[in-house]
Amino acid sequence: MPEEALDFDQWSGVSLKLLTVELALMDAKHKRRSEGATGHFQRSRHSKEARSESASPALAAKEVSSIGERNRSRLSLTAGVIGIGVYLMAGGLYLGSGLVVPYPWAYWLWAVWIGGIAVLVSVFRRSPIWTPIVPIAAVALWVTVVQIGHWLLGWTA
């Protein structure tokens, strides 16, 4: 029994040492990467400052424009998320179509709504600010189909 415990202790000690060495190597690698990126940034910033002192207003303007871009990006992303939420709510209209529309037509409306999800994702990836237009178009299409069906085919609730 004591020999087995000794072997386990030796094994766990060796594995702990290996783990410590591996973590130290990973930490050193991470420090080299971060120092390399920071060093490059500092060199380029100092060289710009060394060229002329008049460059600082231009740098400040670039910083302000990047803040504006970040805010626009947040606004765009917010509009995209709101558009997705509204599209999911518009799905309630499409799901409830079975109460107003005969089922062969309701299946087509459901297929259109599911296809609209692909359009929604595509628009969200390209430019999220335009995402709210997709649910507006989906609701307009649903109202148009139901209204035309009511007028021409006599669909009623």
66 is written with which tokens? 């990047």
- Cα 147 to Cα 156: distance, rounded to the nearest angstrom: 10
What average pLDDT does range 15-19 have in this prediction?
59
User: How does the average pLDDT of the chain come out, rounded?
Assistant: 77
List of residues 6+ apart from 142 with CB closer than 8 A: 90, 93, 94, 97, 109
Per-residue pLDDT tens digits for 28-50: 766 776 666 555 444 445 544 44
Radius of gyration (C-alpha) of the chain in whole angstroms: 31
Is the overall model pTM greater than 0.85, yes or no?
A: no
53 is written with which tokens? 């002192």
Per-residue pLDDT tens digits for 102-140: 999 999 999 999 999 999 999 999 999 999 999 999 999
Phi, psi of 128 (to 5 degrees): -60, -25
Q: Are 95 and 138 in contact (CB under 8 A)?
A: no
The model's confidence at residue 76, banded by pLDDT at 50, 70 and 90, is very high
